[in-house]
Structure 1
Amino acid sequence: MNLRIGLIQTTTGIDPLVEAEGLALRIAEAAAQGAQIIFTPEMSGLLDRDRSRAAGHVRTEANDIVLAAVRAAAAQHRVWVQLGSLALRSETSDKFVNRGFLIDPTGAVQARYAKIHLFDVALGSESWRESAAYEAGEEAVVAATPWGPLGLTICYDIRFPALHRALATAGAAMIAVPAAFTRPTGAAHWHVLLRARAIETGCWVIAAAQTGEHADGRATYGHSLVVSPWGEVRLDMGEAPGVGLIDIDLGEVAIARGKVPALEHGREFRVTAP
């Protein structure tokens, strides 16, 4: 089964109203070129490491202007959208939640996923502690689409193979990996991690990414990728913001898994250690 997918690569800033308008325009652009489902990056509506300033823009899901704009654009252009993620206020705590959405061509939300693995790392001159402001999700999600099941992840989740294997064994033929990778980690690990997850699961891996110099002072790696179930990079968007399109064949999933049926060969085991 062939599918035309669109990826939106952005340099998201600190004003959600600007980002809502920009995303709607990019969705229109991708839909006009025949995209049937469009993928956006992590934090598509707001990227601000100043958490006190960001707090003034973060809303609940019901009141978020970026989510509303993307839902309206999906309905207007009759296209599916995997909105990589948004910073939203939690319904259950005083923290934020990093939540992604699958939106259908009527503008309805068909699936939600909250980022399970939070980015708490020190990278020399850069230090990040996502868990200070965000609560972690607890549930992996595989969503139904007309072309097959889609597994949902967000950015740092890519470093946890067990999550991706669980998505694949639950039926996923595609896995979305929206991201805002730092430049140091991106240059070192981005391509190899995405290729590894595709090879291990026999899934199409679709990774829409943030890129460039952001208004909050950070820099992200870009290189939104589409990786085949055999681990081949079929699309690399480089560092410029914009829209990328590619046709993929979902039949390649069965071919790759038929060659190396690793999902079928997994076994439980014990670990012996000193």
Structure 2
Amino acid sequence: MKIAACQMVSGPDLAANLATARRLLEDAARQGAALAALPEYFCLMGMHDSDKLALAEDEGQGPIQAMLATAARELGLWLIGGTLPIKAATSERVRNSTLVFSPSGGRVARYDKIHLFAFDDGRESYDEGRVLEAGGTPTAFDANGLQVGLSVCYDLRFPELYRGYAGSALLAVPAAFTYTTGQAHWELLLRARAVENQCYVVAPAQGGRHANGRRTWGHSMVVDPWGQVLAVLPEGEGVVVADLDPARLAQVRQQLPALGHRRLG
């Protein structure tokens, strides 16, 4: 199965972001991808964190979800829809949600980001908890017999989440890593999650300078179960495609059966 990670430099214009996402998904399909993933906040990187509140959709309806469902159906893709704001229990918060659609256009999974990012190095600071409500349920889905575990961005720093997906063929990590943290830790953590769980990782990211002044690290990539980076895009819009090979997955797990050697957890 060919899998694709789409990289974007999203801005505050919803329609423009959706059009870019559709174009990149079409490119992924042309390259033979059966599964494609969009980055975190693919639909909006606003001027302020609170901008996403105005675009929050009810679960199951809205223009963002409609675009994802239509793209999956028309392009015949398993589509991991990055993240979009879904209304939470209070109007002051939203869930940062990954929705997954099958090639028929039906929604097959929803994952709400569990770990909320906070960072302050004296020059730049972020606190997602100001507008996001954390999820609490790990979620996986089946794509043509391959289990895919879902996560988002900052989740990458919490290996216990991924241990719950042990045995999965693929882990998905839509992200918008800051340039600072991405430069230091992005590839390191992605390869670690692939190696320790002996699975593929697809990591679509935001990658560039955004209208709000923020710079994201990019480096969307696909990593194999041995920790090898199969494809990467450093910065800017684009698509990277690589093969998820079940035979390679089985080979790694057979020659080093670490998952069967676990004694804790």
Using structure 1 for the length normalisation, give the TM-score. 0.92
**Structure 2 portions without partners, runs of 5+:** none
Residue of structure 1 in register with 2:163 after alignment: 165
Determine if contact 2:116/2:134 at 8 Å carries over to the other structure: yes
After superposition, give the CA deviation of every residue in 1:75-118 in whole Å (9 maximum; x if it has no partner).
1122211112112222x233111000111111111011000111
What letter corresponds to residue 214 of structure 1 in structure 2?
A: H
2:113 is equivalent to residue 115 of structure 1: yes
* Distance change >3 Å, CA 253–CA 49, structure 1 → 2: farther
* Distance change >3 Å, CA 41–CA 53, structure 1 → 2: closer
* Distance change >3 Å, CA 25–CA 96, structure 1 → 2: same
Identity of aligned residues (%): 39
Determine if contact 2:222/2:241 at 8 Å carries over to the other structure: no
After superposition, give the CA deviation of every residue in 1:133-163 in whole Å (9 maximum; x if it has no partner).
1111111011111040000000000001111
* Distance change >3 Å, CA 52–CA 152, structure 1 → 2: closer
Cα distance, 1:199 vs structure 2: 0.5
Describe the SS at the equivalent of 1:219. coil
Determine if contact 1:30/1:38 at 8 Å carries over to the other structure: yes
Determine if contact 1:198/1:205 at 8 Å carries over to the other structure: yes
Cα distance, 1:127 vs structure 2: 1.0
Determine if contact 1:21/1:69 at 8 Å carries over to the other structure: no
Determine if contact 2:55/2:85 at 8 Å carries over to the other structure: no
* Distance change >3 Å, CA 124–CA 255, structure 1 → 2: farther
What letter corresponds to residue 167 of structure 1 in structure 2?
A: Y
User: 1:221 is matched with which residue: 209, 217, 220?
Assistant: 217
Between 81-90 and 146-155, report the one with greater CA deviation: 81-90
Residue of structure 2 in register with 1:136 after alignment: 134
Describe the SS at the equivalent of 1:55. helix
Describe the SS at the equivalent of 1:25. helix
Measured in 1, the distance between the counterparts of 2:179 and 2:153 equals 13
Describe the SS at the equivalent of 1:106. coil
Measured in 1, the distance between the counterparts of 2:160 and 2:56 equals 31
Residue of structure 1 in register with 2:205 after alignment: 209
Matching of residues 56-205 of structure 1 within 5 Å:
56-90=54-88, 92-94=89-91, 95-168=93-166, 171-205=167-201
Between 211-220 and 56-65, report the one with greater CA deviation: 56-65
What letter corresponds to residue 218 of structure 2 in structure 1?
A: G
Determine if contact 1:20/1:65 at 8 Å carries over to the other structure: no
Measured in 1, the distance between the counterparts of 2:188 and 2:31 equals 30
2:25 is equivalent to residue 30 of structure 1: no
Between 137-146 and 77-86, report the one with greater CA deviation: 77-86
After superposition, give the CA deviation of every residue in 1:13-49 in whole Å (9 maximum; x if it has no partner).
1121211122122212221221111111111111125
**Structure 1 portions without partners, runs of 5+:** 270-274
Residue of structure 2 in register with 1:50 after alignment: 48
Measured in 1, the distance between the counterparts of 2:50 and 2:140 equals 34
After superposition, give the CA deviation of every residue in 1:32-70 in whole Å (9 maximum; x if it has no partner).
221111111111111125134333333323343122112
Describe the SS at the equivalent of 2:165. helix
Determine if contact 2:14/2:44 at 8 Å carries over to the other structure: yes
Cα distance, 1:264 vs structure 2: 1.8
Measured in 1, the distance between the counterparts of 2:2 and 2:94 equals 33
Describe the SS at the equivalent of 1:211. coil
Determine if contact 1:19/1:66 at 8 Å carries over to the other structure: no
Cα distance, 1:8 vs structure 2: 0.9
Q: How many residues align?
A: 264
